[in-house]
Amino acid sequence: MDTQQLKAFVTVARLGSFSQAGEHLYLTQPAISKRIVKLEQQLNVRLFDRIGRHVNLTDAGFVLLPKAQHILATLDDTSRELSNLSGRVEGHLRIATSHHIGLHRLPPYLREYQQRYPKVKLDIQFAESEIIYQGLLEGLWEIGIITLSPQPHQQLQQQLLWQDDMHFVCAPNHPLATVKSVSLKSLGHYPALLSKPGTFTRELLNQRFDQADIELRVATSTNNLDTLRMLVSTGMGWSLLPHTLLNEDITTITTDSSTIVRHLGCVRHTQRSLSNAAQQLMSLLQTQATY
Protein backbone atom coordinates (compact mmCIF):
# COMPACT_ATOMS: atom_id res chain seq x y z
CA MET A 1 0.00 0.00 0.00
CA ASP A 2 1.53 3.34 -1.04
CA THR A 3 0.45 6.92 -0.53
CA GLN A 4 -0.44 7.46 -4.19
CA GLN A 5 -2.96 4.62 -4.02
CA LEU A 6 -4.45 6.02 -0.82
CA LYS A 7 -4.62 9.51 -2.32
CA ALA A 8 -6.46 8.14 -5.36
CA PHE A 9 -8.86 6.22 -3.10
CA VAL A 10 -9.64 9.25 -0.90
CA THR A 11 -10.14 11.50 -3.93
CA VAL A 12 -12.51 9.08 -5.67
CA ALA A 13 -14.45 8.67 -2.41
CA ARG A 14 -14.77 12.44 -2.02
CA LEU A 15 -15.73 13.22 -5.61
CA GLY A 16 -17.69 10.05 -6.33
CA SER A 17 -16.10 9.78 -9.76
CA PHE A 18 -12.96 8.19 -11.24
CA SER A 19 -12.79 10.75 -14.06
CA GLN A 20 -13.15 13.75 -11.71
CA ALA A 21 -10.54 12.26 -9.39
CA GLY A 22 -8.22 11.95 -12.37
CA GLU A 23 -8.73 15.61 -13.27
CA HIS A 24 -8.14 16.66 -9.66
CA LEU A 25 -4.90 14.66 -9.41
CA TYR A 26 -3.79 15.43 -12.99
CA LEU A 27 -3.98 11.78 -13.97
CA THR A 28 -5.94 9.86 -16.59
CA GLN A 29 -8.98 7.85 -15.55
CA PRO A 30 -7.21 4.53 -16.38
CA ALA A 31 -4.33 5.57 -14.10
CA ILE A 32 -6.76 6.23 -11.24
CA SER A 33 -8.52 2.91 -11.86
CA LYS A 34 -5.20 1.09 -11.87
CA ARG A 35 -4.25 2.51 -8.47
CA ILE A 36 -7.61 1.58 -6.98
CA VAL A 37 -7.40 -1.96 -8.37
CA LYS A 38 -3.91 -2.42 -6.91
CA LEU A 39 -5.11 -1.19 -3.52
CA GLU A 40 -8.10 -3.55 -3.61
CA GLN A 41 -5.83 -6.45 -4.53
CA GLN A 42 -3.44 -5.68 -1.68
CA LEU A 43 -6.27 -5.46 0.84
CA ASN A 44 -8.21 -8.30 -0.77
CA VAL A 45 -11.49 -6.35 -0.57
CA ARG A 46 -13.65 -4.33 -2.94
CA LEU A 47 -13.59 -0.66 -1.97
CA PHE A 48 -16.11 0.70 -4.47
CA ASP A 49 -19.30 -0.53 -6.08
CA ARG A 50 -19.34 0.62 -9.69
CA ILE A 51 -22.88 0.66 -11.06
CA GLY A 52 -23.06 2.48 -14.38
CA ARG A 53 -21.61 5.93 -13.82
CA HIS A 54 -22.24 5.82 -10.09
CA VAL A 55 -19.38 5.04 -7.70
CA ASN A 56 -20.22 4.23 -4.08
CA LEU A 57 -18.09 3.10 -1.15
CA THR A 58 -18.53 -0.46 0.04
CA ASP A 59 -18.57 -1.28 3.76
CA ALA A 60 -14.83 -1.93 3.52
CA GLY A 61 -14.39 1.43 1.80
CA PHE A 62 -16.21 3.21 4.62
CA VAL A 63 -13.88 1.55 7.14
CA LEU A 64 -10.75 2.48 5.20
CA LEU A 65 -11.67 6.09 4.39
CA PRO A 66 -11.07 7.80 7.77
CA LYS A 67 -7.90 5.75 8.32
CA ALA A 68 -6.57 6.67 4.87
CA GLN A 69 -7.36 10.34 5.49
CA HIS A 70 -5.53 10.18 8.83
CA ILE A 71 -2.46 8.52 7.25
CA LEU A 72 -2.25 11.12 4.47
CA ALA A 73 -2.77 13.99 6.92
CA THR A 74 -0.02 12.67 9.20
CA LEU A 75 2.41 12.34 6.29
CA ASP A 76 1.58 15.86 5.08
CA ASP A 77 2.10 17.25 8.58
CA THR A 78 5.44 15.49 8.94
CA SER A 79 6.60 16.73 5.55
CA ARG A 80 5.63 20.32 6.38
CA GLU A 81 7.27 20.26 9.81
CA LEU A 82 10.54 19.01 8.32
CA SER A 83 10.38 21.52 5.48
CA ASN A 84 9.66 24.36 7.90
CA LEU A 85 12.99 23.72 9.66
CA SER A 86 14.80 25.25 6.70
CA GLY A 87 12.95 28.55 7.16
CA ARG A 88 12.49 28.85 3.41
CA VAL A 89 9.13 29.88 1.92
CA GLU A 90 8.71 27.61 -1.05
CA GLY A 91 7.02 24.43 -2.21
CA HIS A 92 3.43 23.53 -2.98
CA LEU A 93 0.61 25.37 -1.17
CA ARG A 94 -2.94 24.02 -1.47
CA ILE A 95 -5.66 26.50 -0.56
CA ALA A 96 -9.34 26.82 -1.36
CA THR A 97 -11.63 29.82 -1.70
CA SER A 98 -15.13 30.70 -2.76
CA HIS A 99 -15.72 32.13 -6.22
CA HIS A 100 -16.90 35.47 -4.85
CA ILE A 101 -13.86 35.99 -2.61
CA GLY A 102 -11.54 34.74 -5.35
CA LEU A 103 -12.95 37.26 -7.81
CA HIS A 104 -13.60 40.28 -5.61
CA ARG A 105 -11.24 40.10 -2.63
CA LEU A 106 -8.13 37.99 -3.19
CA PRO A 107 -6.46 39.18 -6.44
CA PRO A 108 -4.35 42.04 -4.99
CA TYR A 109 -3.18 39.89 -2.09
CA LEU A 110 -2.28 36.96 -4.33
CA ARG A 111 -0.32 39.26 -6.64
CA GLU A 112 1.72 40.62 -3.72
CA TYR A 113 2.20 37.14 -2.28
CA GLN A 114 3.57 35.76 -5.56
CA GLN A 115 5.91 38.75 -5.86
CA ARG A 116 7.23 38.15 -2.34
CA TYR A 117 7.47 34.36 -2.60
CA PRO A 118 8.01 33.36 -6.24
CA LYS A 119 9.18 29.86 -5.26
CA VAL A 120 5.73 28.95 -3.86
CA LYS A 121 3.50 27.07 -6.28
CA LEU A 122 -0.10 27.95 -5.46
CA ASP A 123 -2.79 25.33 -6.04
CA ILE A 124 -6.10 27.16 -5.66
CA GLN A 125 -9.39 25.27 -5.65
CA PHE A 126 -12.67 27.13 -6.07
CA ALA A 127 -15.79 25.80 -4.38
CA GLU A 128 -18.68 26.79 -2.15
CA SER A 129 -17.68 27.89 1.34
CA GLU A 130 -19.61 25.04 2.94
CA ILE A 131 -17.81 22.43 0.79
CA ILE A 132 -14.44 23.98 1.61
CA TYR A 133 -15.33 24.00 5.30
CA GLN A 134 -15.94 20.25 5.19
CA GLY A 135 -12.80 19.71 3.11
CA LEU A 136 -10.70 21.48 5.73
CA LEU A 137 -12.03 19.04 8.33
CA GLU A 138 -10.89 16.22 6.05
CA GLY A 139 -7.46 17.77 5.53
CA LEU A 140 -7.82 18.55 1.82
CA TRP A 141 -6.31 22.04 2.04
CA GLU A 142 -4.01 23.90 4.41
CA ILE A 143 -6.24 26.95 4.59
CA GLY A 144 -9.59 28.07 3.24
CA ILE A 145 -10.53 31.68 2.54
CA ILE A 146 -14.30 31.65 2.77
CA THR A 147 -17.48 32.96 4.34
CA LEU A 148 -17.07 32.08 8.01
CA SER A 149 -19.54 29.73 9.62
CA PRO A 150 -21.96 31.29 12.13
CA GLN A 151 -21.46 28.08 14.14
CA PRO A 152 -17.75 27.17 13.84
CA HIS A 153 -16.54 23.62 14.34
CA GLN A 154 -14.31 23.14 17.39
CA GLN A 155 -11.52 21.63 15.26
CA LEU A 156 -11.40 24.61 12.91
CA GLN A 157 -9.89 27.99 13.71
CA GLN A 158 -11.49 31.01 12.03
CA GLN A 159 -9.65 34.30 11.47
CA LEU A 160 -11.79 37.29 10.48
CA LEU A 161 -10.42 39.29 7.54
CA TRP A 162 -13.35 41.21 6.06
CA GLN A 163 -16.89 42.11 6.98
CA ASP A 164 -19.45 42.15 4.19
CA ASP A 165 -22.37 44.50 4.70
CA MET A 166 -25.25 42.79 2.91
CA HIS A 167 -27.84 44.85 1.04
CA PHE A 168 -31.37 44.10 -0.03
CA VAL A 169 -31.47 44.88 -3.75
CA CYS A 170 -33.86 44.84 -6.71
CA ALA A 171 -34.02 46.06 -10.30
CA PRO A 172 -34.60 49.79 -10.88
CA ASN A 173 -38.05 49.00 -12.34
CA HIS A 174 -39.09 46.72 -9.47
CA PRO A 175 -42.10 47.91 -7.40
CA LEU A 176 -39.89 48.12 -4.28
CA ALA A 177 -37.27 50.33 -5.94
CA THR A 178 -39.13 53.59 -5.28
CA VAL A 179 -40.41 52.81 -1.78
CA LYS A 180 -38.71 55.00 0.84
CA SER A 181 -38.56 52.29 3.54
CA VAL A 182 -39.58 48.65 3.05
CA SER A 183 -40.52 46.33 5.92
CA LEU A 184 -39.39 42.71 6.04
CA LYS A 185 -43.07 41.77 5.86
CA SER A 186 -43.39 43.63 2.56
CA LEU A 187 -40.29 41.87 1.21
CA GLY A 188 -41.96 38.57 2.04
CA HIS A 189 -44.75 39.38 -0.43
CA TYR A 190 -42.34 39.43 -3.40
CA PRO A 191 -40.29 36.62 -5.01
CA ALA A 192 -36.74 36.31 -3.66
CA LEU A 193 -33.57 35.25 -5.49
CA LEU A 194 -31.27 33.77 -2.86
CA SER A 195 -28.30 31.57 -2.06
CA LYS A 196 -29.20 27.90 -1.66
CA PRO A 197 -30.46 26.54 1.68
CA GLY A 198 -27.69 25.39 3.98
CA THR A 199 -25.20 28.04 2.92
CA PHE A 200 -23.76 30.35 5.56
CA THR A 201 -25.14 33.43 3.77
CA ARG A 202 -28.63 31.96 3.51
CA GLU A 203 -28.54 31.01 7.20
CA LEU A 204 -28.04 34.67 8.15
CA LEU A 205 -31.06 35.74 6.09
CA ASN A 206 -33.24 32.88 7.32
CA GLN A 207 -32.45 33.79 10.92
CA ARG A 208 -33.57 37.38 10.34
CA PHE A 209 -36.87 36.36 8.74
CA ASP A 210 -37.49 33.52 11.21
CA GLN A 211 -37.08 35.95 14.10
CA ALA A 212 -39.76 38.15 12.54
CA ASP A 213 -41.93 35.10 11.80
CA ILE A 214 -42.04 35.97 8.09
CA GLU A 215 -42.04 33.34 5.34
CA LEU A 216 -39.77 33.83 2.34
CA ARG A 217 -41.11 33.40 -1.20
CA VAL A 218 -38.04 31.92 -2.91
CA ALA A 219 -38.31 31.96 -6.69
CA THR A 220 -34.74 30.92 -7.54
CA SER A 221 -31.68 29.83 -5.56
CA THR A 222 -28.08 29.57 -6.67
CA ASN A 223 -24.75 29.85 -4.87
CA ASN A 224 -23.17 32.09 -7.51
CA LEU A 225 -23.67 35.66 -6.27
CA ASP A 226 -22.76 37.17 -9.65
CA THR A 227 -25.55 35.11 -11.19
CA LEU A 228 -27.96 36.37 -8.53
CA ARG A 229 -27.00 39.96 -9.37
CA MET A 230 -27.72 39.31 -13.04
CA LEU A 231 -31.11 37.77 -12.24
CA VAL A 232 -32.02 40.68 -9.97
CA SER A 233 -31.19 43.15 -12.75
CA THR A 234 -33.81 41.48 -14.99
CA GLY A 235 -36.56 42.23 -12.47
CA MET A 236 -37.21 38.62 -11.46
CA GLY A 237 -37.15 39.44 -7.76
CA TRP A 238 -35.17 40.93 -4.88
CA SER A 239 -32.05 39.52 -3.31
CA LEU A 240 -29.45 40.00 -0.57
CA LEU A 241 -25.98 40.82 -1.95
CA PRO A 242 -22.67 42.14 -0.56
CA HIS A 243 -21.67 45.73 -1.22
CA THR A 244 -18.87 44.52 -3.54
CA LEU A 245 -21.53 43.54 -6.08
CA LEU A 246 -23.55 46.75 -6.12
CA ASN A 247 -23.64 48.53 -9.48
CA GLU A 248 -25.86 50.71 -11.64
CA ASP A 249 -27.93 47.73 -12.83
CA ILE A 250 -29.51 47.18 -9.42
CA THR A 251 -31.04 49.39 -6.73
CA THR A 252 -30.54 49.16 -2.97
CA ILE A 253 -33.73 48.68 -0.96
CA THR A 254 -33.91 50.62 2.29
CA THR A 255 -35.54 48.49 4.99
CA ASP A 256 -36.63 48.91 8.60
CA SER A 257 -34.24 46.11 9.60
CA SER A 258 -30.65 46.44 10.79
CA THR A 259 -27.86 45.58 8.35
CA ILE A 260 -27.07 41.90 7.91
CA VAL A 261 -23.31 41.35 8.10
CA ARG A 262 -21.44 38.25 7.01
CA HIS A 263 -17.84 37.55 7.97
CA LEU A 264 -15.13 36.45 5.55
CA GLY A 265 -11.77 35.09 6.55
CA CYS A 266 -9.19 32.31 6.83
CA VAL A 267 -10.01 28.90 8.22
CA ARG A 268 -7.51 26.20 9.19
CA HIS A 269 -7.57 22.89 11.04
CA THR A 270 -6.25 23.28 14.58
CA GLN A 271 -4.52 19.88 14.50
CA ARG A 272 -2.67 20.44 11.21
CA SER A 273 0.78 22.01 10.96
CA LEU A 274 0.97 24.93 8.55
CA SER A 275 3.81 25.18 6.07
CA ASN A 276 5.94 28.31 5.98
CA ALA A 277 4.16 29.20 2.75
CA ALA A 278 0.72 28.99 4.40
CA GLN A 279 1.88 30.93 7.46
CA GLN A 280 3.18 33.77 5.30
CA LEU A 281 -0.04 33.94 3.26
CA MET A 282 -2.14 34.13 6.42
CA SER A 283 0.19 36.79 7.84
CA LEU A 284 -0.09 38.88 4.67
CA LEU A 285 -3.88 38.68 4.70
CA GLN A 286 -4.14 39.47 8.42
CA THR A 287 -1.79 42.45 8.14
CA GLN A 288 -3.34 44.09 5.09
CA ALA A 289 -7.00 43.02 5.12
CA THR A 290 -9.46 45.28 6.91
CA TYR A 291 -12.79 44.65 8.57
In this structure, what CATH number is given to the domain that contains residue 57? 1.10.10.10
Domain boundaries, position 216: 162-263
* 168 inside domain: yes
- β partners of residue 56: 49
* 237 inside domain: yes
In this prediction, residue 42 has a pLDDT band, given cuts at 50, 70 and 90, of: very high
Upper half-sphere CA count for residue 199 (Cβ side, 13 Å): 19
Q: Averaged over 8-12, what is the pLDDT?
A: 91
Report pLDDT digits (tens) over 124-172: 999 999 999 988 988 889 999 999 998 889 999 999 999 999 999 999 9
Among 16, 38, 65, identify where a domain stops: 65
When comparing pLDDT for 75 and 231, which is higher?
Answer: 231
In terms of phi and psi (left: phi > 0; alpha: psi -120 to 50; beta: otherwise), the region of 238 is beta
pLDDT at 92 over 90: no
* 60 inside domain: yes
Orientation angle between helical segments 3-15 and 59-84, nearest 10 degrees: 120
pLDDT at 235: 94
Whole-number percent of the chain with pLDDT over 90: 67
Among 20, 49, 65, identify where a domain stops: 65
Q: How many CB atoms lie within 10 A of CB 172?
A: 12
* 155 inside domain: no
* 103 inside domain: no
* 209 inside domain: yes
* 22 inside domain: yes
Q: Averaged over 47-65, what is the pLDDT?
A: 88
Among 35, 65, 95, identify where a domain stops: 65
Domain count, the chain: 2
Which CATH number belongs to the domain containing residue 174 in this structure? Answer: 3.40.190.10
Q: What are phi and psi of 6, to 5 degrees?
A: -65, -40
pLDDT at 160: 94
Report pLDDT digits (tens) over 173-203: 999 999 999 999 999 999 999 999 989 899 9
Q: How many CB atoms lie within 10 A of CB 13?
A: 21
Residue from 246, 243, 244, 291 nearest 265 by CA: 291
Orientation angle between helical segments 3-15 and 18-25, nearest 10 degrees: 120
Q: How many CB atoms lie within 10 A of CB 222?
A: 13
pTM of this prediction? 0.73
- Give, for 126, the enclosing helix (H) or strand (E): strand 120-126
Helix, strand counts (H, E) of the chain: 11, 11
* 285 inside domain: no
pLDDT at 14: 86
